[in-house]
Structure 1
Amino acid sequence: MGDDGDVRLTTVSKDGEKLGNLIPAGSMSSTEGKSAIPGKWKIPGVQEPVELKVSGSSVKSVQQPFGNQPFLGEIEEGEKMLGLHVTLGGFPMKAWMKKEGQQTVLTFSNGGRWSKL
């Protein structure tokens, strides 16, 4: 007898708004963004950085700091700008990347922002 509040996604959902409609102007191109994903990312409020790896169009974190679950992402192929369908701690969201000065920032549809180290 599980409570629906305990249901967590372990795959990446591509439902919801078309990703291309969510990505703001000035975001990184798909090609540039895809090459910038691998590496360590600083998450506000989390001491240890998270390392993301890309395999094909799939993105996964090495660590599992989100309720013992990894960051899971799927790159939306066919968009001009990089867009990701993400499952983070069991919750679905979308993400895109921007350059802010010299800093690369991964921005999530829930308002979260990670900085590339």
Structure 2
Amino acid sequence: MSSRPSPQVIEEDGLQDNCKTVGTHLLLELSKLRDKFEIVGDVRGKGLMIGVEMVTDKKTRRPFPAENMNVIWEQCKEHGLLLGKGGLYNNVFRIKPPMCIRKEDADFTVAVLDAAITKYLDEANK
């Protein structure tokens, strides 16, 4: 049995429209983290496939170290947010939620990632 929704379900439930609407909302909210934190280098994606690139410095775009990525990733996991990691230097958080995601879920994603980055930076600056 496939875990993918059938084309009929996608159309009946308006899942493609949901991906566009919630994906745009999620991209806009994650972009605020790029503006807030020096270590968030870029936010990119289309629909619900989104990447949050982590860097040590926005000007040099030097990749964020994998061990530091793991600290933030674990914090997210502890709060119930599962993210993938990827990119050439393993410094991109991959966000690929199901097509039925709601705006409230997107807001939760941003809030948890914001809190995890804030905690990481607070600990690093001690």
The alignment's TM-score, normalised by the length of structure 2, stands at 0.35
Q: By percentage of residues, which structure has more helix?
A: 2
Q: By percentage of residues, which structure has more strand?
A: 1
Structure of greater Rg: 2
